[in-house]
């Protein structure tokens, strides 16, 4: 659905890559390649059906005229409907090379195959009501619709919807753009394909790819494989889910620290602490590789005391749920005072409480938060964005929407802790946890209870060995 491990570029970064490339390669050649990539995919899906190609005034329209010409030359029945005169020299040349008829967008009638080349990365404002309604009707009337670079009306850098149709497939040119993975783009783009059009691209931002997991070595033992401590308090079930996930994802030793005597998994070691003051002793074990605090912690005085005791240790921390709500806008101050690394796993509401609501796209906001907190942030949701303080970004889109059920976030915190305890690099740990989480959900199918994901984790791990 989204090409894995692919670079993601903003509109500005894409323009810079294009400009650098055009110093050595003619722009028209690149546009020919883009149009050829569109024509190739359209022909594959069209299976002989009639096509309507929409061409906008910019270079997205230029690509559309190339695709129309190549498809017509290959024997397809193609009509073109244009919006305004071509406004760039390259688009004008491609318009001139198109020898068929061109009608106005307002005269276009639906055809079984629609190719949307109205706007791409140059869309600068919301679509007017007229073209928006026309585009929606033409897309609805088509049996298969293919967007060039982006569905027209999607804001490139945020995925905000300014009137885009929902298309069957989108061909991203040269690189993914944030809108292919964020916000409304998730539903509007359909299947996303990536076309190499010869422009070299480099980016610290990538779509999530399947990670590699090392199996234990012959001489590994439970402590060398990593020890995870999970703090349990107001809602012990949440901590149990985190601990269960950690134990299933490769941690050598998992310890639940709290007051609840119930134990569902015998292999998970329990340690009782009656008062928050006793937690420091329980956490004094230097073999502890990471502490998970937040799932089911609660937000009362006792929870605050437990959180403070955890923050006072020198262990790496995974902070989730109530721990994030308790820290609120003071999170960065607390975390900057620590020397060990931290991972924060907020959902959207928790993120806003921690870092405020302003600041651009989900990627921009997560990057700014990672820099401010000097922590790796896993900003959860249908479009999960991982960012680290060095500016690396990974975006995971299209996880199962059935994950939207209570307890799945607790599991993610446990998965992340397991990967940290196993010694993964900070970013790799987050990537691996998010990937395993999605893979376990895929394996669990529809309407699962969060608990059921735990049993799927070892199989998800096996996909990464």
Ligand X SMILES: Nc1ncnc2c1ncn2[C@@H]1O[C@H](COP(=O)(O)OP(=O)(O)O)[C@@H](O)[C@H]1O
Single out the residue of 188, 380, 394, 419 in contact with ligand X (rule: CB under 6 A): 380
Contact 151, 170 (CB under 8 A): yes
Contact 290, 318 (CB under 8 A): yes
122 contact, one of ligand NAX, K ion, ligand X, none, CB 5-8 Å limit per kind: ligand NAX
Greatest C-alpha distance within the chain: 82
Of the candidate spans 68-76, 124-132, 207-215, 266-274, the one that interacts with ligand NAX by CB under 6 A turns out to be 124-132
Q: In what order do the strands lie in the sheet with 78-82?
A: 102-104, 78-82, 51-55, 113-117, 144-148, 169-173, 191-195
116 a known binding residue?
Answer: yes
- Residue 60 engages ligand NAX in binding (rule: CB under 6 A): yes
Q: In what order do the strands lie in the sheet with 383-387?
A: 205-207, 393-397, 383-387, 376-379, 342-344, 317-319, 288-293, 227-231, 253-258, 269-272
375 a known binding residue?
Answer: no
Report the DSSP pairing between strands 383-387 and 376-379: antiparallel
Q: Could you tell me where the beta strands, DSSP code E, fall in 175-266?
A: 191-195, 205-207, 227-231, 253-258
Single out the residue of 359, 401, 423, 445 in contact with ligand X (rule: CB under 6 A): 401
Of the candidate spans 71-79, 121-129, 399-407, 409-417, the one that interacts with ligand NAX by CB under 6 A turns out to be 121-129
d(CA 174, CA 196): 5
- Residue 382 engages ligand X in binding (rule: CB under 6 A): yes
Single out the residue of 105, 367, 403, 418 in contact with ligand X (rule: CB under 6 A): 403
Q: Of residues 328-347, which lie at the interface with ligand X (CB under 6 A)?
A: 347
Backbone angles phi, psi at 71, to 5 degrees: -70, -40
> What's CA 153's distance to the chain center, in Å?
20
146 contact, one of ligand NAX, ligand X, K ion, none, CB 5-8 Å limit per kind: none
Of the candidate spans 58-66, 304-312, 335-343, 376-384, the one that interacts with ligand X by CB under 6 A turns out to be 376-384
- Residue 139 engages K ion in binding (rule: CB under 5 A): no
31 a known binding residue?
Answer: no
Of the candidate spans 16-24, 111-119, 186-194, 456-464, the one that interacts with K ion by CB under 5 A turns out to be 111-119
Q: Of residues 81-100, which lie at the interface with ligand X (CB under 6 A)?
A: none
- Residue 116 engages K ion in binding (rule: CB under 5 A): yes
The site map against ligand NAX for 76-95 (x = CB under 6 A) is -----------xx-x-----
Contact 405, 443 (CB under 8 A): no
- Residue 74 engages ligand X in binding (rule: CB under 6 A): no
User: Which is closer to K ion, CB of 32 or CB of 116?
Assistant: 116
d(CA 323, CA 90): 54
Contact 265, 241 (CB under 8 A): no
User: Which is closer to ligand X, CB of 39 or CB of 307?
Assistant: 307
Secondary element (H or E) of residue 394: strand 393-397
Please report, for residues 13, 44, 143, 244, 315, the alpha-carbon distance to residue 166 in angstroms, rounded to integers and kept in the order given. Answer: 25, 20, 12, 39, 47
Residue 165's Cβ-side half-sphere holds a number of Cα atoms within 13 Å equal to: 29
Taking the complex as a whole, the smallest distance from the CB of residue 231 to ligand X amounts, in Å, to 15
d(CA 270, CA 254): 9
120 a known binding residue?
Answer: yes
Binding residues: 59-63, 116, 120-126, 149, 152, 238, 296, 347, 380-384, 409-410
Contacts with ligand X, residue ranges (CB under 6 A)? 321, 347, 380-382, 384, 399, 401, 403-404, 406-410, 412, 437
Binding residues for K(+): 60, 116, 152
Contacts with ligand NAX, residue ranges (CB under 6 A)? 18, 27, 30-31, 34, 56-63, 87-88, 90, 119-127, 148-149, 173, 197
Binding residues for (6S)-NADPHX: 59-63, 120-126, 149, 238, 296, 347, 410
């Amino acid at each position: 659905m989204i090409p894995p491990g692919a670079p993601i570029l903003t509109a500005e970064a894409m323009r810079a890559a294009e400009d650098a490339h055009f110093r050595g390669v003619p722009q028209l050649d690149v546009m020919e390649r883009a149009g050829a990539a569109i024509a190739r995919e359209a022909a594959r899906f069209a299976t002989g059906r009639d096509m309507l190609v929409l061409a906008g005034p910019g270079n997205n329209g230029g690509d559309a005229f190339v695709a129309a010409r190549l498809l017509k030359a290959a024997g397809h029945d193609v009509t073109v409907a244009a919006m305004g005169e071509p406004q760039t020299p390259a688009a004008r040349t491609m318009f001139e090379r198109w020898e068929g008829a061109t009608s106005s967008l307002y005269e276009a009638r639906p055809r079984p195959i629609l190719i949307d080349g109205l706007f791409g990365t140059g869309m600068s404002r919301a679509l007017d009501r007229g073209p928006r309604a026309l585009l929606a009707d033409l897309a609805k009337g088509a049996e298969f619709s293919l967007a060039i670079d982006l569905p027209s009306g999607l804001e490139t850098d945020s995925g905000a919807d300014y009137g885009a149709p929902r298309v069957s497939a989108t061909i991203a040119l040269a690189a993914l753009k944030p809108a292919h993975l964020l916000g409304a783009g998730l539903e509007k783009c359909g299947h996303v394909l990536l076309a190499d059009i010869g422009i070299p691209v480099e980016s610290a931002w990538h779509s999530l790819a399947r990670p590699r997991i090392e199996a234990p070595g012959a001489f590994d033992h439970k402590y060398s494989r990593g020890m995870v401590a999970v703090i349990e308090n107001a809602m012990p079930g949440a901590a149990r889910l985190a601990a269960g996930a950690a134990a299933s994802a490769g941690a050598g030793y998992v310890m639940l620290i709290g007051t609840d005597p119930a134990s569902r998994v015998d292999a998970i070691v329990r340690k009782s602490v009656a008062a928050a003051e006793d937690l420091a002793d329980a956490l004094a074990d230097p073999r502890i590789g990471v502490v998970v605090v937040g799932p089911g912690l609660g937000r009362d005085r006792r929870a605050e005391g437990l959180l403070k005791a955890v923050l006072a240790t020198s262990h790496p921390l995974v902070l989730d749920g109530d721990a994030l709500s308790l820290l609120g806008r003071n999170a960065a101050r607390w975390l900057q005072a620590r020397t060990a690394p931290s991972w924060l796993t907020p959902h959207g509401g928790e993120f806003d409480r921690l870092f405020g609501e302003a600041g651009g796209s989900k990627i921009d906001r997560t990057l700014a938060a990672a820099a401010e907190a000097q922590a790796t942030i896993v900003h959860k949701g249908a479009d999960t964005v991982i960012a680290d303080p060095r500016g690396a970004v990974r975006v995971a889109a299209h996880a199962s929407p059935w994950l939207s059920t209570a307890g799945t976030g607790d599991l993610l915190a446990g998965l992340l802790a397991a990967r940290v305890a196993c010694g993964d690099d900070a970013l790799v740990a987050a990537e691996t946890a998010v990937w395993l989480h999605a893979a376990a959900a895929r394996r669990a199918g529809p309407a699962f209870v969060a608990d059921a994901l735990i049993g799927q984790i070892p199989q998800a791990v096996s996909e990464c060995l």
